[in-house]
Amino acid sequence: MMINLYSDTQSLPTEGMREAIARAEVGDEQKGQDRSVTRLIEKVAHALGKQTGMFLPSGTMCNAVAAATHCGRGEAVIAESGAHIVRYESGGLATFAGAMLEPIAGTDGKFTGAQVLEAASPGSRYTPRTTLMCVEQSCNLAGGTVWSMDQLEDVVDAAQSVGLRTHMDGARLFNAAVSTGIPASALCAGFDSVWVDFTKGLGAPFGAVLCGTEEFIERAWVWKHRFGGAMRQAGFMAAGCLYALEHQVDRLVQDHRHAQLLNEKLSAIDGIVVRYASVQTNIVYFDFSAEMPRSAPDFLKRCEERGLRLGRVGQGFRAVTYLDISKADVLRAADIVADVMATCVRGSAVAA
Ligand SMILES: *Cc1c(COP(=O)(O)O)cnc(C)c1O
């Protein structure tokens, strides 16, 4: 069996979730008649402390709908340069919102209120008006690290002081909440819009919920419809998300323990350097040490041959834990990496 640490998107629906999906009460979602979708929206809006929400098939569509609702053509959006909305959404911000990006070079995916004030512009004949600030919680490309309450309040205060709207990409917001013990609603307080993904560590096959005020969600529906994201019997999708919300949130703490364990084991392997001394949520990044020049594709191939799949992000490697990954899998994964590294060293010694 392959130990698949490529991403928490590889999580598979559990038996309980499959049953919940099969039994789902359904109706016409776009007419507001799907009771499973309605229940999911109510629960998520409550958990996030927002007035209401909308159900969408994916997180990417949440970001696209939110951006298109918040800003218009030629307006500028502030986001950290490594954010998912910047790197991995095929330029959706420009395509759908017609907005341009004002990237901020942050530290570990986070920036400061001072940086917001420096980047934001009221606009002029010559300069674009900044209208939206995006924050990612937790920070995917920065090792799943979490914005603290102080950091969040700092950027929200700054954004509000210059009239920006605020959006939180909360793909892994529940990981951040479980990791810090701070309720999700507090972590996204002050944000005009926020969404959570059900297809990452929460283990559902599809679905994300975007939340905000009644007024925001009403305007967002136009974009949901334009994207073809207005659905019919979407309760089959929502049922998996409801199941995840009820049964698979608290257990995220296990994924975090497993990621921390993996980080410790990897850091002890010759030739491997972990990016973060400790792991806050479920994402581990590591690199080859400078004195261990190696071919990354060769390393990944050798790991795969031994039953371990890892992700490659930029120049480094990523390993993500989730509900199908056990402690034994993590220990085995570390053994495989150690074996591959040792084989390589021996191999090159022989070659030399
Ligand atoms: C996965 C992810 C998304 C996109 O969500 P999908 O459901 O895969 O479309 C957006 N932002 C972050 C931070 C993510 O990790």
pLDDT on residue 290: 85
Q: What is the CA radius of gyration of the chain?
A: 21
H/E stretch holding 168 reads strand 165-170
The minimum-distance atom of ligand 1 relative to the CA of 199 is 7
Task: Write down the pTM of the prediction.
Answer: 0.96
- Rounded Cα distance between 59 and 170, Å, is 9
Half-sphere exposure at residue 267, Cβ-oriented, CA atoms within 13 angstroms: 14
pLDDT on residue 345: 58
pLDDT on residue 293: 73
Cβ–ligand 1 contact at 281 (below 6 Å): no
User: What residues pair up with 100 in beta bridges, in sequence order?
Assistant: 76
Ligand 1 pocket: which of 84, 89, 174, 198 to mutate (most atoms <8 Å of CB)?
84
The torsion angles phi and psi of 318, rounded to 5 degrees, stand at -130, 140
Within the chain, which residues score under 50 in pLDDT?
347, 349-352
Name the pairing type of β-strands 193-197 and 208-212: antiparallel
pLDDT on residue 87: 96
pLDDT on residue 346: 52
Q: Which residues contact 107 (CB under 8 A, 6 or more apart)?
A: none
Ligand 1 center to residue 142 CA distance, Å? Answer: 14
Q: Check: CB of residue 233 under 8 Å from CB of residue 34.
A: yes
The minimum-distance atom of ligand 1 relative to the CA of 208 is 7
- Using the 8-state DSSP alphabet, how is residue 307 labeled? T
The minimum-distance atom of ligand 1 relative to the CA of 61 is 9
Burial class (CB in 10 A: 0-12, 13-18, 19+), 346: exposed
Ligand 1 center to residue 54 CA distance, Å? Answer: 16
pLDDT on residue 343: 86
User: What residues pair up with 210 in beta bridges, in sequence order?
Assistant: 54, 195
Q: Which residues contact 226 (CB under 8 A, 6 or more apart)?
A: none
Cβ–ligand 1 contact at 89 (below 6 Å): no
